[in-house]
Amino acid sequence: MPTPVLLSHIDHVGIAVPNLEEAVERYRAAFGLEVVALESNPAQGVREAMLRLGPSIPDADGPASYVQLLEPLGADTPVGRFLARRGEGLHHIGYAVDDVRLAMETLALQGVRVLDSQPRHGSLGASIAFVHPKDLSGVLTELVQAALG
């Protein structure tokens, strides 16, 4: 059976940075982007800012997408290790899915390594799961099911 289309659009690009406030200011100055959410996620080891692109009226012209700036909460975290190894830069791509559990199961059946056994809590109330970069052409990939409403 062919795989159903699982990804609807790019929800966010995650960028690893050593200093969140400096990065927010740089993106604000460069592009005029504004922070719509600033959150700490201890389970993921990050403090992060979501900067919204696209329509100023959400959903008027399609779904919004975001730049997600990520500062590690410590050296021994995914983003902390990434910064030490590679320096700041593109860390992951988050794709919007309608059903994160269906996407996780569909990938697992193909032997693609889904890093989470259950959906986890993500920014803006989303349910998220990560997929190993080595199984997707070197790109750490996040499945994002947006919060309802």
Residue in the structure block whose two tokens are 């919004």 = 64
Does position 138 interact with ligand V0V (CB under 6 A)? The reply is yes
DSSP 13-64: EEEE-S-HHHHHHHHHHHH---EEEEEEETTTTEEEEEEEES-SSTBBTB--
Does position 106 interact with ligand V0V (CB under 6 A)? The reply is no
Does position 41 interact with ligand V0V (CB under 6 A)? The reply is yes
x-marked contacts with ligand V0V along 76-95 as a string, rule CB under 6 A: --xx-xx--x-----xx-x-
Q: From the list Co ion, ligand V0V, none, which binds 52 (C-beta under 5 to 8 Å, kind-based)?
A: none
| DSSP letter assigned to residue 135 | G
Q: From the list Co ion, ligand V0V, none, which binds 78 (C-beta under 5 to 8 Å, kind-based)?
A: ligand V0V
Separation between Cα atoms, residue 31 and residue 53, nearest integer Å? 10
| Shortest reach from residue 92's CB to Co ion, in Å | 6
